Structure 1
């Protein structure tokens, strides 16, 4: 599964915080189960699309999935992050049935689920929605996982024989037949035939790209902001780019068919184009126009500190992990970091606590050695190199000696520049210098990830800064994408494997884990692989980003969902009447 989408979670890699003992991502304000009222959702934006197959932003996907867009499965809302990875049937009656070889999955649709015009959501609507992803020249921006996993034949050049539902020409019928064989309907039952085993396919279909789409409502290239709802809300008028729109009740949504969404407000006014700091200040002031408002963007660090020290503000705010992890990638093509002890030395020398302080403190991020966010089932507390949070210069120097390197050791580091990132990188340079490295840092701004994925970058830098967030609750959305050289490294470059990590045993283990059907066993295996990767120095975890959201005094049930991006949870939010 691609990124920018919790039973055994540990709230932080390094323990000793109150939230680890009593995890919660809910504000202290009183709860209510009353329906009614108007909620204002304030955002900088912009929303790039409300088309299910075009949605690429995690924030937009999370909002859409609670407001107007239902998928075969979904993650259950909870104020306890340890429970937010619970997968339930949404459009489907359950979380699906795999074949023994995990190469096919079957789902049965619920009765009574309807579009905003009252027509039923059918198996064919689900199939049609997924088929749109294959129209890659028209439908862009969203997940392309369907192209990667569905058992639709490929052309010699690697492209699909199916070009989507809009294609014409002599090969269109054959392409459609190939797709219909891979995604077949029989009454309310939909069966997916996959090209290879996928043990967590039922989590993959929780993405908007696998949502249904009614063919008669499809406006192709002109439908970027056209919404045809099968959820609790619909647009009251066309969406206005850079301004927003109002969501009102969909009269054909039935709560009895939906175990995910409570849909308490009668109306949600989504306003975009407002600076994040302005939003926070307006809501903190709690005037007449902001008492029923909630910020969709995290408050700036300076404001966060104020919110957390004033009880009246703290009780109407919530802080949550976003799942986005900053990390470093040692370059295996570098003569220095070709040696495992040198990679280990860099990890041990890294002052993660100083990095977090430079980012803005504990409300903005938490130090971590792991790429697995704390809300995922695979999260663990192991620190195999005993790297800790503060950096250990003496131990790093010993490792550099074992690597046969002469101190100071020159290293060239590339990172994506911003005022905050510049400070954060400076905090790392101080610790590395003390440990015997001689860092030269290069701030890059434009097209950062494109630049470091070019082959020539391997000769220009020894270390790359990067970040990653999973798109669901499985670590399968982390390690294959970043460390499976068989799908990343080629003559064209390293893909997302910026450090050219290439271990056939790791590739084989990734393939093996992807065939484990038991979820607990599978996520435990991902955790074990993570420990191995940290030990090898394949990457160096830095910090898991966090967000703080604030709401007006009339907002109730404010919480955040860490599994779907640490965003405001709209499945449960309400307004005091």
Structure 2
């Protein structure tokens, strides 16, 4: 899934794939001078970073109208079509419930706490973790008053298999449910819309065997052990859909609510819609949502800077408004330093981590010492400063975001946040490389990214590398995933965000060579990293039943990957939100993507 901020970062620009060498010249020197003595984290700078929860007083009062303002666009409200983490987070707190959910908390360290949502608990696995059962709460209803049933959950999930009709959403159900595959890798089950035939009948029978209902209990048979399946089902793609209300290919923005709010009238793309109370929702059946406002007016199509400026001004029409997009970096410092604005702002990590991937097919990075040298030479603080400072990102050596249980602060290569050029030179000598070491670096270009890359180049040059950077604009990830990219570049910039609060959605996707490396290319393993021991550990960890032990194992694996130079962490992106003076309980949820928490937001 992408965050809305990431969609903006990937906005296509005119094709301009200039290659240019940036050496330790005037530009690099100016960057180094500009960041000298600047500490992004720690000391006074750490204290200046805004809080995850706004300082304005909190309330438990119900009522009022909240305005949610966004650039958008929302791509879908259909549960099985939702692809944006921003949209999924809003939907999951207002009209869409899943078997389990992450409980809201003003303490970022507790936001990964899993609770039963539609289900009475977080699920019961069998001893081999190949079967999971969930019992639905009694009294949960759709907006027409009819009960949400086990069959509704089963039908909703079945729609993910209709891959030619329902597109855009997560397809984890196809990957993990014990539904056989055809020789070409597609599922034998083609979803609930497939025309009748012997093949579709057999496919439906296979799905009915994998997903079974008995009264209010739904049981899933999995094709392999999945120890965090109860976290996987927090995704919108596992939400129920009432069959009689399914609009199939015409239902991208169709909403039939089982949460505290429903649409007052059809959603208007590029404009928005108004959410009003769902009278069929019972607070007694919901441990996640408080639903304090009576109405939520969701307005999209407004530039993010305009939203921020209107809310900062706090006029009559914006006192009860909240920004759904992160405030532009140029305005953030003003908010942080003005107490009246800081009190109604909140910030948090988005889970989106920027990182670098050394190309193991490159002669330069064939040895671990050479890859370690690049990591040790990397000035992460300079990178963050170029991005916009502490409110826009935080240095990170790990791909595992700070809100996840597997997050750690270990520094196995002792690289620090600013890098160590002399130690990097020593590692290059161990790798038997002659200074300066030429490297070709590919990255996704933008005005901000250009500055951030220049900051990295300055540090690498000081450490004995001679970088040549390639600005790639259009179809960046498609370009670097082509086999020929392995012969054109030595280092790739990339980013990644977890799908739920587990490192299982990060490390296997990026470094499991058995699922990535094929004749067609590297998949998401852009550096062609292959290590049988790592692959074996990736297969072993999902069989650990205890969540704490499992995430501890992922953290240990991450340390091994860093030590081997499989990747170089750069920074976790952050978002800052501002609300009007009448908004209460403003907080940001890091686990759901660093977005505004709508479970308990309120209006004075």
SS of the residue 2:240 aligns to: coil
Match of 1:363 among 388, 391, 400: 391
> Hey, what's the Cα distance between the residues in 1 that align with 2:190 and 2:323?
40
Correspondence 1:290-305 to 2 at 5 A: 290-305=318-333
Match of 1:402 among 420, 425, 430: 430
- For the 8 Å contact 1:23–1:81, the answer to whether it is kept is no
Match of 2:577 among 525, 531, 549: 549
Asked if residue 281 in structure 1 is aligned to residue 312 in structure 2, the reply is no
Q: CA deviation at 1:15?
A: 6.0
183 and 3 in structure 1: CA distance in 2 versus 1, 3 angstrom threshold: farther
Q: What residue in structure 2 maps to residue 374 of structure 1? A: 402
Aligned residue pair count: 569
Asked if residue 510 in structure 1 is aligned to residue 538 in structure 2, the reply is yes
- For the 8 Å contact 2:49–2:390, the answer to whether it is kept is no
Q: CA deviation at 1:156?
A: 1.1
SS of the residue 2:536 aligns to: helix
Asked if residue 257 in structure 1 is aligned to residue 285 in structure 2, the reply is yes
- For the 8 Å contact 1:99–1:105, the answer to whether it is kept is yes
Match of 1:489 among 503, 517, 531: 517
Q: What residue in structure 1 maps to residue 258 of structure 2? A: 230
Q: What residue in structure 1 maps to residue 11 of structure 2? A: none
Correspondence 1:424-439 to 2 at 5 A: 424-439=452-467
Correspondence 1:263-342 to 2 at 5 A: 263-342=291-370
> Hey, what's the Cα distance between the residues in 2 that align with 1:292 and 1:552?
5
SS of the residue 1:425 aligns to: helix
Q: TM-score, normalised by structure 1?
A: 0.97
SS of the residue 2:398 aligns to: coil
Q: CA deviation at 1:20?
A: 9.5
Asked if residue 109 in structure 1 is aligned to residue 109 in structure 2, the reply is no
- For the 8 Å contact 1:416–1:443, the answer to whether it is kept is yes
Q: What residue in structure 2 maps to residue 69 of structure 1? A: 96
Correspondence 1:5-16 to 2 at 5 A: none
- For the 8 Å contact 2:511–2:529, the answer to whether it is kept is yes
Match of 2:78 among 39, 51, 65: 51
> Hey, what's the Cα distance between the residues in 2 that align with 1:303 and 1:479?
35
Match of 2:382 among 333, 354, 357: 354
- For the 8 Å contact 2:345–2:577, the answer to whether it is kept is yes
Q: What residue in structure 2 maps to residue 146 of structure 1? A: 173
Match of 2:115 among 65, 88, 97: 88
Q: CA deviation at 1:115?
A: 0.3
Q: TM-score, normalised by structure 2?
A: 0.93
SS of the residue 2:543 aligns to: coil
- For the 8 Å contact 2:190–2:203, the answer to whether it is kept is yes
Match of 2:222 among 186, 194, 211: 194
475 and 409 in structure 1: CA distance in 2 versus 1, 3 angstrom threshold: same
Q: What residue in structure 2 maps to residue 134 of structure 1? A: 161
- For the 8 Å contact 1:96–1:202, the answer to whether it is kept is yes
SS of the residue 2:76 aligns to: coil
120 and 359 in structure 1: CA distance in 2 versus 1, 3 angstrom threshold: same
Q: What residue in structure 2 maps to residue 162 of structure 1? A: 189
> Hey, what's the Cα distance between the residues in 2 that align with 1:252 and 1:258?
12
SS of the residue 2:353 aligns to: strand
Match of 2:63 among 36, 41, 52: 36
Q: CA deviation at 1:13?
A: 12
- For the 8 Å contact 1:14–1:368, the answer to whether it is kept is no
Q: What residue in structure 1 maps to residue 151 of structure 2? A: 124
After the TM superposition, list the runs of 4 or more consecutive aligned residues in structure 1 that deviate by more than 3 angstroms: 2-5, 12-24
448 and 43 in structure 1: CA distance in 2 versus 1, 3 angstrom threshold: same
Q: CA deviation at 1:169?
A: 3.5
Match of 1:532 among 532, 544, 560: 560
Q: What residue in structure 2 maps to residue 8 of structure 1? A: none
Asked if residue 459 in structure 1 is aligned to residue 517 in structure 2, the reply is no
Q: CA deviation at 1:132?
A: 0.1
Asked if residue 242 in structure 1 is aligned to residue 242 in structure 2, the reply is no
20 and 144 in structure 1: CA distance in 2 versus 1, 3 angstrom threshold: farther
Q: CA deviation at 1:344?
A: 0.3
In the alignment, structure 2 segments of 5+ residues that lack a partner are: 5-38
Q: CA deviation at 1:391?
A: 1.6
RMSD: 1.6
Q: Could you give the per-residue CA deviations for residues 369-412 of structure 1, whole angstroms, max 9, x where no partner exists? A: 10011111111110000111112111111100000000010100
- For the 8 Å contact 1:37–1:575, the answer to whether it is kept is yes
Q: Could you give the per-residue CA deviations for residues 103-153 of structure 1, whole angstroms, max 9, x where no partner exists? A: 000000000000001000000000000000000000000000000000001
> Hey, what's the Cα distance between the residues in 2 that align with 1:427 and 1:13?
14
Asked if residue 559 in structure 1 is aligned to residue 587 in structure 2, the reply is yes
> Hey, what's the Cα distance between the residues in 2 that align with 1:522 and 1:24?
30
> Hey, what's the Cα distance between the residues in 2 that align with 1:332 and 1:514?
27
Q: Could you give the per-residue CA deviations for residues 436-468 of structure 1, whole angstroms, max 9, x where no partner exists? A: 000000011111001100101000100000000
SS of the residue 2:273 aligns to: strand
Q: CA deviation at 1:208?
A: 0.1
Match of 2:598 among 549, 560, 570: 570
Q: CA deviation at 1:172?
A: 1.4
In the alignment, structure 1 segments of 5+ residues that lack a partner are: 6-11
- For the 8 Å contact 1:317–1:548, the answer to whether it is kept is yes
